[in-house]
Amino acid sequence: MARIIYAWELGDDYGHIGSFMPLALALREQGHEVIFVTKELNNAETVVSKYKFQVLQAPIWNEKDKSLPNPPLNYTEIILRFGFLNKTALSALNRVWLGLFALIKPDLIIADHSPVALFSARAVGLRRVVYGTGFCSPPHISPMPNMRYWNKVSQERLEKVDAHALAVMNSLLLDMQSKASPMQSVADLFKVNIDFLCTFPEMDHYPQRSHAQYWGPVFNTAHGREMHWQVEATQKTRKRIFLYLKPEYAAYKKVLASLKTLTDAQGELSADVLIFSPNVPQTVTQQFAGEHLRFATEPIQLASILPECDLAICHGGHGTLAACLMAGVPLLLLPMHLEQFLASVRIKQLGAAKIVNLETKKAIDFDALIVQLLTESSYQQAAQTFAKRYAQFNPSAQFALMAEKINQLIHKTT
């Protein structure tokens, strides 16, 4: 039996822990002990508690530095905000990780969007596995590429910021008297024993990536509350729409108003809408809820609604995108941050979605966007083409393969 740390440092919500849970359970079935060291204990408790895994708090750097360029352009400019700006910050976080290693005595670490954990594990020679989407596992390119490709920046800026982070890391390695070789690039963080790139090439946040092994996306359509559409078979014009949106989204009520108009319609086009919005205020549900516009108080079991769904509206979380595309459902994507926007762009390029970028100064006509996605068949056809391409993909089989690959790494003696 091996002891394995699952580390999660950056990102929000349930997606990271939830996507790892099937692999954690597969590893437990093989007799290994998995300890979660996570950024958010509240989400960890929600997802992990029923399985009774041990959970510890991950070290997080919360001090803000207003001197950093905003918004960040590449992966390095992101991690500068979370401990890599100077040696004091990185040393503090590294000290905690080393303490956790001493306490837990792990045989390996699985890092999900956890750059400091990767640095610390490398420094002490701990076996390392990267697990996550393309955004969490950037390509081995130096300098790290500009993710905001629409913002033209000089190569010099990217090289300068990478050189800064690299100097901080190598200086700390020297102070630690680490036996690890000096790092040659920031991308060296991701030169690990195994890289589980959990996406498809078409969904990769980095389209310029080459020579990668894709393990496919992680999503669980069986989780959540089973629900059903309130549409009779004879109601051909009443479309089925699934909405997964946060109430803090700037245009949240505008989207609901557009959907309310459709649910109340009696003409050629109307809709039945199912909504999951975490912590939605009661005043909002009272204002918009109706016979054909229902709010769920907990996550909806996607397996119960996607097979008959005509349109999904969401922020662009990777798991939700994958589940919808694999069901052949077109999307209206309303990203709230860079990771979601980059993922949304890739789906738009497939022809299966439209994107609303709130940074635009143009007025947004949600009514027209929703009607276009419901009435123009090309979007559904693109989504169904994607679904057929990966019809043989089996997430359960992939988890079994991942667990076996980790098992081989654990028992490897060289």
Asked if the structure places residue 224 within a domain, the reply is: no
Cα separation values, 368 from 7, 354, 363, Å: 43, 11, 12
Both structure tokens of 343: 């993922």
Indicate whether 233 belongs to any domain. Answer: no
Picking from 95, 91, 94, 67, the residue whose alpha carbon sits closest to that of residue 81 is 67
- Find the domain containing 205 and state its range: 3-216+394-411
Looking at residue 247, the DSSP 8-state letter turns out to be T
- DSSP for 8-57, written as a single string: E-S--SSHHHHHHHHHHHHHHHTT-EEEEEES-HHHHHHHHGGGT-EEEE
Q: Are residues 11 and 149 in the same domain?
A: yes
Residues 265 and 402 grouped into a single domain? no
| Three-state DSSP state, 238 | strand
- Count Cβ atoms below 10 Å from residue 367 Cβ, excluding itself: 14
Q: Which two tokens stand for residue 90?
A: 């990185």
Same domain, 293 and 363: yes
Same domain, 151 and 75: yes
Phi, psi of 378, deg, nearest 5: -60, -35
Domain shared by 18 and 112, yes or no: yes
Distances (CA, A) of 387 to 60, 166, 200, 342, 410: 38, 41, 12, 20, 35
Can you read off the two tokens belonging to residue 127?
């076996």
Q: Which residues contact 408 (CB under 8 A, 6 or more apart)?
A: none
8 A C-beta contact, residue 308 and residue 329: no
Domain count, the chain: 2
Query: Does 223 map to a domain?
Result: no
Q: Residue written as tokens 């975490």?
A: 278
Do both 183 and 326 map to the same domain?
Answer: no
Per-residue tokens: 136: 């969490």
DSSP secondary structure letter of residue 290: B
What is d(CA 376, CA 371) in angstroms, rounded to the nearest whole number? 8
- Same domain? For 249 and 157 the reply is no
Token reading at 105: 């005595």
299 closest CA partner among 197, 231, 222:
222
The whole-number pLDDT of residue 246 equals 94
pLDDT number for residue 358: 65
Structure tokens at 407: 């098992």
End-to-end CA distance of the chain, in Å? 18
11, part of any domain: yes
* Strand residues in 279-333 grouped as ranges (E): 293-296, 311-314, 331-333
Q: Are residues 57 and 196 in the same domain?
A: yes
**Residue 308 counted as domain residue:** yes
The DSSP annotation for 106-166 comes to: -SEEEEES-HHHHHHHHHHT-EEEEEE-GGGS--S-SSPPPS-TTS---HHHHHHHHHHHH
What confidence score (pLDDT) does residue 219 get? Answer: 86
| Same domain, yes or no: 102 and 125 | yes
Q: Which residues of 187-209 are buried (b: 16+ CB within 10 A; e: fewer)?
A: bbbbebebbbbbbbebbbbbeeb
Q: What pLDDT was estimated at residue 414?
A: 44
Is residue 82 situated within a structural domain? yes
Q: Looking at the structure, do residues 364 and 303 belong to the same domain, yes or no?
A: yes
- pLDDT tens-place string over residues 18-69: 889 999 999 999 999 999 999 988 777 877 888 999 999 999 998 888 888 8
Q: Which two tokens stand for residue 134?
A: 């393309």
> Does 222 fall in a domain?
no
Per the domain annotation, does 221 fall within a domain? no
Say whether both 117 and 245 belong to one domain.
no
Q: Kindly list the averaged pLDDT for each block of 10 residues, start to end, along the chain of length 414.
A: 95 82 94 95 80 94 87 94 96 98 98 98 98 94 92 92 98 96 96 97 94 91 89 75 95 96 84 94 95 92 95 95 97 95 96 87 89 96 98 92 95 70
CATH of the domain at 198: 3.40.50.2000
Residue type, 90: L
- Indicate whether 175 and 305 sit together in one domain: no
pLDDT at 362: 80
pLDDT in tens, 249-289: 999 999 999 999 999 887 778 999 999 998 899 999 999 99
Q: What is the pLDDT of residues 189-200, one digit of tens each?
A: 999 999 999 999
Structure tokens at 284: 């909002």
Q: What's the token pair of residue 282?
A: 């009661």
Residue 77 CA, distance from chain mean position? 19
